[in-house]
Structure 1
Amino acid sequence: MSTPDPAPPGFELPLRLLLAFRTIIDELHERIAREGHPDLRPMHGFVFQAIGPHGTTAADLGRTLGVSKQAAGKTVEALEKLGYVQRGSDPADTRRKVVRLTDRGVDCLVRSARIFDELRTEWVATLGEEQLRQMEDGLRRLAPGDPFRLDTPRWFGGPS
Structure 2
Amino acid sequence: MPIRRPGNALPFLLLGAFRALIDELHRQLADQGHPQLQPAHGFALQMISRGGSITDLGRRLGVTKQAAHKTVIGLESLGYAQRRPSSTDRRRTDVVLTERGAEALALSGAVLNQLRDEWASRVGEDRMRVLEDVLERASEEDGMDRILGWLGS
TM score, norm. by length of structure 1: 0.90
Q: Which residue of the partner structure matches residue 99 of structure 1?
A: 95
Report the AA paired with residue 115 of structure 2: L
2:28 equivalent to 1:31:
yes
What percentage of aligned pairs have identical amino acids? 46
Give how far 1:24 is off: 0.3
Distance in 1, Cα, partners of 2:57 & 2:134: 31
Pairs within 5 Å for 1:54-133: 55-133=51-129
Q: Is the radius of gyration larger for structure 1 or structure 2? A: 1
Q: Which has the higher contact order (CA 8 A, sep 6+)?
A: 1
2:132 equivalent to 1:136:
yes
Q: Which residue of the partner structure matches residue 18 of structure 2?
A: 21
2:25 equivalent to 1:40:
no
Give how far 1:93 is off: 1.8
Find the residue that maps to 2:140 and give its secondary structure: coil
Q: In the TM superposition, what whole-angstrom CA distance separates every residue of 1:83-110 from its partner, at most 9, and x where no partner exists? A: 0001110122222111100000000011
Q: Would you tell me which structure has more helix in proportion to its own residues? A: 2
Report the AA paired with residue 16 of structure 1: L
Distance in 2, Cα, partners of 1:82 & 1:50: 17
Q: What is the CA RMSD across the aligned residues, in angstroms?
A: 1.2
List structure 1 runs of 4+ shifted beyond 6 angstroms. Answer: none
TM score, norm. by length of structure 2: 0.94
Residues matched between the structures, number = 151
Q: Which residue of the partner structure matches residue 4 of structure 2?
A: 7
Q: Which runs of 5+ in 1 are unaligned?
A: 156-160
Give how far 1:152 is off: 3.9
